[in-house]
């Protein structure tokens, strides 16, 4: 069974030790089980893909169109998150089946890409958002310690250029970390341990793409 990726959840970070006793920082991802909600084909939809559902929720909490969508797939539950993943052969998938890490050929040392939503930090100043340097902290520089400084141009063009790095909304963006190394796979617990950090807070949804 070959699929582009699966939906998961970031559980948090920890560390593991290799055979030589080296400490490796890892992010623990709970990947799957994912239910096949819909199968898309080239003949009908123009491309081959499967729509997967993750994190079950009661049908009574779903809208009427989504209830019909889930029941059509033969599922007796809804899902909080739905995502599409490309596949080469749709014959391996049918609506209602569940996909877990046991169904995929994963091994230690392989590379994966992980997409998640970074932590939202609200309206943030330039120093935190863009890593600007602060201004002098002496008494002569009053009330300007963390201000951004000059932002406009001279007589020409006489305005602030678009894209100027200023204070504003920071975080809560879709971020993809590429080529993360798989340190360990625990299929019986649906856990995937990848080396390094993954965007987002614990219990945030992520999409894991296999190389």
Sheet holding 98-99, edge to edge: 78-86, 49-57, 34-40, 98-99
Measured CA to CA, the distance from residue 32 to residue 78 in angstroms comes to 15
Low-confidence ranges of the chain (pLDDT < 50): none
Which residue's entry shows tokens 């019986």? 188
What SS3 class is residue 69?
Answer: helix
Give the chain's radius of gyration (CA, Å): 23
Q: Give residue-wise pLDDT tens across range 165-186.
A: 999 999 999 999 999 999 999 9
pTM for the model stands at 0.84
Q: Distance between terminal CA atoms of the chain? A: 14
pLDDT tens-place string over residues 110-150? 999 999 999 999 999 999 999 999 999 998 888 889 998 88
pLDDT at 49: 93
Asked if 82 and 143 sit in the same domain, the reply is no
The pLDDT value recorded for residue 141 is 86
How many domains does one find in the chain? 2
* 155 assigned to some structural domain: no
Per-residue confidence (pLDDT) for residue 150, from 0 to 100: 84
> Within this chain, do residues 114 and 10 fall inside the same structural domain, yes or no?
yes
* Residue 21 sits in the same domain as residue 79: yes
β-strand partners of 185: 192
Residue 152 is predicted with a pLDDT of 79
Cis peptide upstream of residue 157 (ω within 30 degrees of 0)? yes
Here the CATH number for the domain that contains residue 79 is 2.40.30.10
Distance between CA atoms of residues 24 and 68, nearest Å: 46
Cα dihedral value 181, 183, 187, 188, nearest 10: -150
pLDDT of the residue at 142: 85
């Amino acid at each position: 069974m070959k699929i582009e990726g699966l939906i998961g959840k970031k559980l948090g970070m920890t560390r593991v030790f290799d055979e030589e006793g080296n400490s490796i920082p890892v992010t623990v991802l709970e990947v799957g089980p994912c239910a096949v909600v819909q199968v898309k084909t080239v003949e009908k939809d123009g491309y081959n893909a499967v729509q997967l559902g993750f994190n079950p929720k009661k049908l009574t909490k779903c809208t009427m169109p989504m209830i019909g969508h889930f029941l059509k797939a033969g599922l007796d539950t809804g899902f909080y998150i739905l995502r599409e993943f490309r596949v080469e052969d749709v014959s391996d998938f049918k609506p209602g089946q569940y996909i877990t890490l046991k169904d995929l050929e994963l091994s230690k040392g392989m590379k994966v890409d992980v997409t998640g939503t970074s932590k939202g930090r609200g309206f943030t100043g330039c120093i935190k958002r863009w890593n600007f340097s602060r201004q002098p902290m002496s008494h002569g520089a009053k009330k300007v310690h963390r201000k951004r400084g000059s932002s406009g141009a001279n007589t020409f063009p006489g305005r602030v250029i678009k894209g100027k790095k200023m204070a504003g909304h920071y975080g809560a963006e879709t971020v993809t970390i590429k080529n993360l190394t798989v340190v360990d796979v625990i299929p019986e617990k649906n856990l995937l341990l990848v080396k390094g950090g993954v965007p987002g807070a614990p219990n945030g949804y992520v999409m894991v793409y296999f190389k």
